[in-house]
Amino acid sequence: MNEGNRVPPGAGTEEAAGAGPTPDGDFELAKPARPTPLHEPDPYSTPPYGEPGPWAPAPPVQHPGTTPTHGTPLPPPAGPHGPTPAFPGAPAPASPAPAVTGGPATAPAPPSAPLPETAPLQGLTAIPEPVVAGAPIPVPPVAPGPAQDPWGRYDPWGRGPLQQAGAVPDGERRNGRRGRRLLVVWTLAVALVASGIGGVVGAYVEREGLGGEVTLPQAGSVPAGRAPDSVAGIAARALPSVVTLHVSGSGEEGTGTGFVLDDRGHILTNNHVVAAAASGGKISATFSDGDSVKATVVGRDSGYDLAVVQVHGVRGLTPLTLGDSDGVRVGDPVVAIGAPFDLANTVTAGIISAKERPITAGGEEGDGSDVSYVDALQTDAPINPGNSGGPLLDSRAHVIGINSAIRSADGGSDTEGGQAGSIGLGFAIPVNQARRVAEELINDGHATHPVIGVTLDMGYTGDGARIDDHSANGGPAVIEGGPGARAGLAPGDLITRVDGERVHTGEELIVKVRAHRPGDRLRLTVEHGGAEREVSLVLGTSEQN
């Protein structure tokens, strides 16, 4: 045996180099061993398992469980020849060459684990060149440039290399802007169409409804309070003091109105309201709360068309406050309360349309004893039959007049107002005059009338009030010792003015005189025989009703 040719143990063994002993027992140099295929050879030599081979170990598979966050490079796994490339196409790190002992042959690398059949890598191909055992696997060169993201170009569907994370091609950037513009345009178009459809549907629903039960809108509750000077405020304060009078007697029945003067139960109304009960008739007074009590006549006066009745056994009466009729001006707002056509507690409103309107009412007796002469307040507040005797109130709920007459549509003036109803011409007795008369009726049972002591020619058709030639009973027209006689008045004198105000008829002169109290001084303008003079006189007193 040639000891010099012996191979050192472990350097060329069968396990390492694939050599075996020779027949003579000597050892020869190891020959390169052919790599064992991963599968049994195909007897039909069908590629890829048939001849000629070769087989190269595949790179290790990267499993999802160990995959780092997108964009983070993986450390190269160790292989039989050192670290392997992280992904195909990346350069393999340098590894030290294996030590060779006793010749050019090198120990073959142990076979790699079989590649799992359930997780093949897309895009990997076998290296076409045969690989000698122990030789490094050739890797295509990589162009120099910035660091590559191992996941940036990975495409699991094998559609080719992908762009690196964060890099957007110009074409895609333009496509993105175009897509956003299209999205905005479509959004606006859809909004416009939706709003148009909504408007049409809303209009249809508003006009036609959706069917079913209809619920109508209603305003919210109105505050309970009202301003004191409003119509509602005035009515709220005055109504408890207004009464409705039902009168019967002498075969007649009627309805009128009155209001409380004091807490003793005195109620002021018109004479023509209670005249039917003057001779044993009945009067009942109904208050705004519905309570009715019996009333009796205290006193009445046909010349002023005023009367006072009284109720008994009624507590908690609230009298109305009397105002000042001399301070009233045309255009002032007023409220009338009464029972027109027996409709109790009726409230109407209007204004003062005129002052000092001379009116006469009554005259049913034929002798003139029941004719009333009133220097009235005119109002357009609706007044109808049944309002007679009711209060005419100012904005402070003060009584400024007693509603007494209306102008009828037939052109007449009637204390009952006729049946034609209101035409906007109502007349009220001024409260300053009514107050004096009411006091006299309560205190004395009758009222006094101021007079000038002359008899007027009521048939005179000229302008002014003419003194008659004689009285109705044939006596002198100017009463001896009376106010007119003392002032120098004579039969045939024509009185044209009272305190500078023009009078056109005898009725107007009576109205002007009765608007004063007995004892008041008047200044008269008198004409006689074409001459004009002024006289001054003090009014006398007459107790004739």
- 336 touches 347 (CB < 8 A): yes
**302 Cβ neighbours under 8 A, 6+ residues apart:** 271, 275, 362, 369, 370, 371, 372, 545
Nearest partner of 390 among 226, 255, 248, judged by Cα: 255
Encoded tokens for 186: 């479509």
- 302 touches 363 (CB < 8 A): no
| 528 catalytic residue (yes or no) | no
The active-site residue out of 149, 301, 305, 375 is 305
Residue holding tokens 């709360």? 289
- 389 touches 268 (CB < 8 A): yes
Phi, psi of 204 (to 5 degrees): -65, -45
Residue holding tokens 């966050």? 69
Radius of gyration over every alpha carbon of the chain, rounded to an integer in angstroms? 65
| 305 catalytic residue (yes or no) | yes
Q: How many whole angstroms separate alpha carbon 419 and alpha carbon 434?
A: 26
Residue holding tokens 């472990």? 10
Q: How many whole angstroms separate alpha carbon 355 and alpha carbon 331?
A: 10
- Measuring CA to CA, how many Å separate 252 from each of 295, 341, 404, 526? 17, 16, 19, 46
Nearest partner of 396 among 303, 305, 327, 485, judged by Cα: 327
| 262 catalytic residue (yes or no) | no
| Degrees, nearest 5: CA angle 409-415-418 | 35
- Measuring CA to CA, how many Å separate 77 from each of 59, 71, 131? 10, 18, 21
The active-site residue out of 272, 302, 353, 404 is 272
The active-site residue out of 241, 353, 388, 408 is 388
What amino acid positions are annotated as catalytic residues? 272, 305, 388
